[in-house]
Amino acid sequence: MKAIVLKKYGSPSDLALEEHPTPTPKPDEVLVKIVATAVNDWDWCLTRAKPFYIRLLCGFFSPKVRIPGAEISGVVEKRGSEVTTLAEGDAVYADISECGFGGFAEYVCVPASTVSKKPESISHFQAAALPHAAMLAIQGLFDSGELQPGQSLLANGAGGGVGTLAVQLAKAHGVDDVTGVDSADKAASMKEQGYNKTIDYQAEDFTRNGGQYHLILDTKTNRFPLSYLRALHPGGRYVTVGGRTRHLLLTFLVAPLIHLFTKKRIRIVGIQTNRDLDQVSELCASGKLTPLVEGPFPLKEAPRLVQRFGEGRHQGKIILTTQTP
């Protein structure tokens, strides 16, 4: 099979399209013929071994993960002898980051319990944009953020995969006041996704403009946690789903003290992969959730597109496909 292979840490330019052995499923696994995969933060971090904890998780001197790619959508090609919940030919999608990655390839083997059946109402290209980003959005908004109908929401990094799903999920939950923060070139697409107001982070600091929100959902975490308190209503909540390591660490350390003295809550989402995919499937089927995608692009373009992701120039999710035109 063809796969994008990572042989050494460095930069996305070190990724290469090569022939790689097609895996064979274990008794509890399925072999998935991948149609589409999405670029996400795991791929950007893994190729560069940054932040440092990537080396602790994925190999200190050289990568143990040879094929990146965490989000997939495809078709069950073969099932292991113990698999009874899926049949060959079933369309499935999943976040496979806890299964060793491997999405940047034509085939991957994963435990059958990991994947969910793809909604018929969306394409493989759309489905690949959902597993990781939608879990972060759902668990950030509702589990950690406790967002309620009628409240106000601000999303920082609103034009990416999590942000473009978060606004749709919030609107479906009865939240009408939703503000998005990102670069000016993403404002039009953010409006199309449902944001009532957009803020260009290069022109305006949302923590200093006087606005206050019941919930801030942050995909960037590019400042210290005390900065966000100004933009929260009394009793408001700040939830981060990712960002700079030192800011995340400080957020974890000061969160109890902030709540003790201000009654405002600061939380970090520890993602539970694939937990809410059935809910996502229902929302897609009802037309309440439609991912924004760039692409699909040929798999061979992965190096360029991982770099584009890392620079934050993408809108929604970047999708790669193994299909040939």
Q: Are residues 126 and 228 in the same domain?
A: no
**Contact indicator for 86, 113 with CB cutoff of 8 Å:** no
Q: Could you tell me the CATH number of the domain that includes residue 118?
A: 3.90.180.10
Q: Please give the pLDDT value at position 70.
A: 97
Question: 114-151, pLDDT tens digit by residue?
Answer: 999 999 999 999 999 999 999 999 999 999 999 999 99
Q: Are residues 139 and 52 in the same domain?
A: no
Q: Please give the pLDDT value at position 258.
A: 72
Position 52 in a domain: yes
Q: Are residues 71 and 139 in the same domain?
A: no
Q: Are residues 42 and 94 in the same domain?
A: yes
Q: Please give the pLDDT value at position 268.
A: 86
List the structure tokens of 323: 């299909």
Q: Are residues 163 and 254 in the same domain?
A: yes
Position 155 in a domain: yes
Position 285 in a domain: no
Domain count, the chain: 2
**Contact indicator for 118, 73 with CB cutoff of 8 Å:** yes
**Contact indicator for 318, 294 with CB cutoff of 8 Å:** yes
Position 275 in a domain: no
Position 276 in a domain: no
Position 107 in a domain: yes
List the structure tokens of 128: 């690949």
Position 118 in a domain: yes
Q: Are residues 153 and 83 in the same domain?
A: no
Q: Are residues 175 and 113 in the same domain?
A: no
Q: What residues are paired with 246 via a beta bridge? A: none
Q: What residues are paired with 240 via a beta bridge? A: 218, 268
Q: Are residues 153 and 258 in the same domain?
A: yes
Q: Could you tell me the CATH number of the domain that includes residue 200?
A: 3.40.50.720
Q: Are residues 141 and 91 in the same domain?
A: no
Q: What is the mean pLDDT of the chain?
A: 93
List the structure tokens of 269: 């989402």
Question: 86-112, pLDDT tens digit by residue?
Answer: 999 999 999 999 999 999 999 999 999
Q: Are residues 261 and 141 in the same domain?
A: yes
Q: Read off the amino acid at residue 187.
A: A
Its domain, for residue 143, covers 133-268
Position 114 in a domain: yes
Question: Tokens 């100004």 sit at which residue?
Answer: 230
Q: What residues are paired with 105 via a beta bridge? A: 3
Q: What is the mean pLDDT of each run of 10 residues along the chain (325 residues)?
A: 96 96 97 98 94 87 95 98 97 96 98 95 96 97 97 97 97 97 96 97 94 95 84 94 71 70 85 94 93 97 97 95 83
**Contact indicator for 190, 198 with CB cutoff of 8 Å:** yes
Q: Are residues 104 and 145 in the same domain?
A: no
**Contact indicator for 239, 214 with CB cutoff of 8 Å:** no
Q: Please give the pLDDT value at position 251.
A: 73
Q: Are residues 7 and 109 in the same domain?
A: yes
